[in-house]
């Protein structure tokens, strides 16, 4: 279809490069499965040469996720391309995405290569990638700041070498929509063979123009857009998939383009990514923010009640939100709970997963009068992606007050052995963290700590997110409870288990590999 826009999701690659985000293989696989349900045309599963863990993640996704094109990123270097192919070759539809900078500033200061050397490298490496993989994508890094004539030459070289997709990145988010549209039009006018390949764009959001630039490129002929859920990515992030898709969906009268995205999976995808990365969505975020369909002004409320279209240009249901919510509590049965899970998008849970989720729901319902959709989503997303629990928290006791030094005693189980430790801290949560560190005997530096209410009321479920550092790597832990100290302790234990998991993987030969230029 000429009016179909392919959605290329790079949440697992560029999105994971967001400062402070580190996903393990299990989390990446869960995200990839959700992206497939969402209906993306292609997903960039990772950068296999960067680490053994990233390689294993791409390989697992290639083996287990069907439907979308599975792409692996590689620099224009033979060892990168070999590693990418080794990881992605199991995919139903594999693609190698190789890149090389083409702007003068990048060639001189980063690559230290002449323009002729760059052209020679593009020819050699795209040809080599094509000899291995049936689909090859090439990106001229910093393409938007590349001299037009040299950009055309680089793209023609890639086409002749066998590239199937040419991706034009606005790597530093420098362009305005008119400028970026002009670049895309220039490519179609001046590059020989351009009609035989797919033209893609990858826009960064440094000036807040990533979505606008992507839409301008579509109007100028681009037929693939690279984006991330919640706009995650380097620096200010990438074009947000949900914004791009819903702009095309809502304004079909203007754009006259379609995507293959199941928009009713957008909200669940956003929540999953937010949960696993620890990067919460701002309330006023377009499409998926908590205020996106909220109306406080009396004038707005009156208008919406009279006719929804007065202030809502799309429905909450169109992205997977349900307006009519069934109230669940401790007297609710399993059937009602299962129906609510399906309405929230959790249709593929196994019988055992539903059984465990229902038990957690009942435990929570004993502590709360009513359980909201947000509570259920938090319960499911916290337990959905699990790594081996090397450490379990048996109990904690705290002593605290405004005239006392806060102390905490914790008891954990590790490798079937029980250990108890105590520590002081600047408040009860700090004391619990110190006691846990002593109990597990691991050097941990707390980099960030957050607590938020998932629902409202005195019995609200609290969600704690911690970012800790062990060595050179950052880990994200998450915990939920009606008791914020317990939620915090669970989050810290979750991060500790991820550290231990990585240590075990490293001992088994799955550690990081240096990314050499």
Residue 428 token pair: 């009860």
The DSSP code for 51 is B
pLDDT-derived band of residue 384, with 50, 70 and 90 as boundaries? Answer: low
One domain for residues 47 and 137: yes
Of 64-78, 87-101, 373-387, 443-457, least confident by mean pLDDT is 373-387
**Does any domain span residue 432?**
yes
One domain for residues 380 and 406: no
One domain for residues 374 and 445: no
User: Across 302-306, 372-376, 406-410, which has the greatest mean pLDDT?
Assistant: 406-410
What does the alpha-carbon distance between residue 358 and residue 376 come to, in Å, rounded to a whole number?
A: 10
pLDDT-derived band of residue 9, with 50, 70 and 90 as boundaries? Answer: very high
Chain segment 84-94, per-residue pLDDT in tens: 999 999 999 99
Where are any strands of DSSP class E within 310-390? none
One domain for residues 259 and 407: no
One domain for residues 364 and 401: no
One domain for residues 165 and 77: yes
Q: Is the pLDDT of residue 426 over 70?
A: yes
One domain for residues 362 and 395: no
**Does any domain span residue 300?**
no
Give the chain's domain count: 3
The sheet with strand 473-481 has its strands ordered as 445-453, 462-470, 473-481
Q: What DSSP letter does each residue of 227-275 carry, written as one string?
A: EBGGG--STT-B-BHHHHHHHHHHTHHHH--B----GGGHHHHHHHHHH
Q: Domain with 471 in it: what CATH number?
A: 3.30.160.270
Of 84-98, 384-398, 481-495, least confident by mean pLDDT is 384-398
Query: In the prediction, which pLDDT does 343 show?
Result: 72
**Does any domain span residue 312?**
no
Residue 51 token pair: 């680490």
Q: Residue 418 phi/psi, 5° resolution?
A: -95, 135
Query: In the prediction, which pLDDT does 298 show?
Result: 60
Chain segment 341-351, per-residue pLDDT in tens: 777 767 777 88
Chain segment 209-243, per-residue pLDDT in tens: 999 999 999 999 999 999 999 999 999 999 999 99
What does the alpha-carbon distance between residue 303 and residue 191 come to, in Å, rounded to a whole number?
A: 51
**Does any domain span residue 428?**
yes
**Does any domain span residue 435?**
yes
What does the alpha-carbon distance between residue 102 and residue 151 come to, in Å, rounded to a whole number?
A: 7
The sheet with strand 417-425 has its strands ordered as 391-399, 406-414, 417-425
Q: What is the mean pLDDT of the chain?
A: 90
3-state secondary structure of 508: coil
Domain extent at residue 245: 6-277
Domain final residue, candidates 253, 277, 301:
277
pLDDT-derived band of residue 334, with 50, 70 and 90 as boundaries? Answer: confident
Domain final residue, candidates 384, 404, 427:
384
Burial of 160 (0-12, 13-18, 19+ CB in 10 A): middle
Q: Domain with 154 in it: what CATH number?
A: 3.20.20.70
Query: In the prediction, which pLDDT does 250 show?
Result: 96
Query: In the prediction, which pLDDT does 278 show?
Result: 85
Chain segment 127-146, per-residue pLDDT in tens: 999 999 999 999 999 999 99
Average pLDDT (6-32) is 91
The proportion of the chain whose per-residue pLDDT surpasses 90, expressed as a percent, equals: 67
Instruction: Give the number of other CB atoms < 10 A from CB of residue 369.
Output: 11
One domain for residues 330 and 468: no
Average pLDDT (139-161) is 98
Query: In the prediction, which pLDDT does 383 show?
Result: 63
**Does any domain span residue 314?**
no
Q: Is the pLDDT of residue 326 over 60?
A: no
Query: In the prediction, which pLDDT does 1 show?
Result: 47
Domain final residue, candidates 277, 310, 342:
277
One domain for residues 364 and 457: no
Q: Is the pLDDT of residue 516 over 80?
A: no
Average pLDDT (478-495) is 92
Query: In the prediction, which pLDDT does 301 show?
Result: 55
Average pLDDT (84-110) is 98
Contact predicate 258/1, CB 8 Å: yes
Where are any strands of DSSP class E within 90-193? 94-101, 136-141, 165-170
Residue 443 token pair: 């050097």
pLDDT-derived band of residue 406, with 50, 70 and 90 as boundaries? Answer: very high
pLDDT-derived band of residue 367, with 50, 70 and 90 as boundaries? Answer: confident
Which of 228, 210, 515, 483 lies closest to 364 in space, CA to CA?
Answer: 483
**Does any domain span residue 306?**
no
What does the alpha-carbon distance between residue 78 and residue 76 come to, in Å, rounded to a whole number?
A: 7
One domain for residues 268 and 371: no
**Does any domain span residue 514?**
no
One domain for residues 101 and 178: yes
Q: What share of the chain is helix, strand, coil (3-state, %, to 5)?
A: 45, 20, 35
One domain for residues 152 and 242: yes
Q: Is the pLDDT of residue 513 over 50?
A: no
Query: In the prediction, which pLDDT does 517 show?
Result: 31
């Amino acid at each position: 279809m000429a009016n179909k826009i392919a959605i290329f999701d790079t949440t697992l690659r560029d999105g994971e490069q967001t400062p402070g985000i580190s996903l393990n293989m299990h989390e990446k696989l869960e995200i990839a499965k959700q992206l497939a349900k969402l209906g993306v045309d292609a997903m960039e599963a990772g950068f296999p040469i960067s680490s053994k863990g990233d390689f294993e993640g791409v390989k697992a996704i290639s083996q287990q996720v069907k439907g979308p094109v599975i792409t692996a990123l590689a620099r224009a270097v033979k060892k990168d391309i070999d590693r990418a192919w080794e990881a992605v070759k199991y995919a139903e539809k594999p693609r190698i995405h190789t890149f090389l900078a083409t702007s003068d500033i990048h060639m001189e200061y980063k690559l230290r290569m002449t323009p002729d050397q760059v052209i020679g490298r593009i020819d050699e490496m795209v040809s080599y990638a094509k000899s291995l993989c049936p689909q090859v994508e090439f990106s001229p890094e910093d393409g938007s700041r590349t001299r037009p004539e040299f950009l055309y030459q680089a793209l023609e070289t890639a086409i002749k070498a066998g590239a199937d997709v040419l991706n034009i990145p606005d790597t530093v988010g420098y362009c305005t929509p008119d400028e970026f549209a002009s670049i895309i039009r220039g490519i179609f006018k001046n590059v020989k063979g351009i009609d035989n390949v797919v033209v893609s764009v990858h826009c960064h959001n440094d000036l807040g123009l990533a979505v606008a630039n992507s839409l301008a490129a579509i109007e100028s002929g681009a037929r693939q857009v690279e984006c991330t859920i919640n706009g995650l990515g380097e620096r200010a992030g990438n074009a947000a998939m949900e914004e791009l898709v819903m702009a095309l969906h809502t304004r079909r009268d203007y754009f006259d383009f379609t995507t293959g995205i199941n928009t009713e999976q957008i909200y669940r995808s956003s929540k999953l990514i937010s949960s696993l990365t620890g990067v919460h969505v701002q309330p006023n975020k377009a499409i998926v923010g908590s205020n996106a369909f909220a109306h406080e002004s009396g004038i707005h409320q009156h208008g919406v009640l009279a006719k929804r279209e007065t202030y809502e240009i799309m429905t909450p249901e169109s992205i997977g939100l349900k307006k009519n919510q069934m109230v669940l509590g401790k007297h609710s049965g399993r059937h009602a709970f299962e129906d609510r899970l399906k309405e929230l998008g959790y249709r593929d849970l196994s019988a055992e997963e539903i059984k465990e989720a229902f038990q957690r729901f009942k435990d929570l319902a004993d502590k709360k009068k009513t359980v909201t959709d947000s509570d259920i989503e938090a319960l499911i997303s916290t337990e959905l992606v699990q790594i081996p629990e090397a450490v379990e928290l048996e109990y904690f006791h705290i002593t605290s007050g405004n005239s006392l030094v806060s102390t905490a005693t914790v008891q954990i189980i590790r490798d079937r052995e029980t250990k108890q430790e105590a520590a002081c801290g600047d408040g009860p949560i700090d004391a619990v963290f110190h006691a846990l560190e002593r109990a597990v005997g691991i050097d941990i530096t707390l980099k960030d700590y957050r607590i938020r209410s998932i629902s409202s009321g005195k019995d609200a479920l609290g969600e704690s997110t911690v970012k800790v550092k062990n060595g050179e790597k950052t880990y994200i832990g998450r915990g939920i409870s009606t008791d914020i100290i317990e939620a915090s302790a669970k989050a810290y234990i979750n991060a500790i288990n991820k550290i231990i998991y990585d240590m075990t993987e490293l001992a088994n030969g799955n550690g990081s590999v240096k990314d050499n230029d």
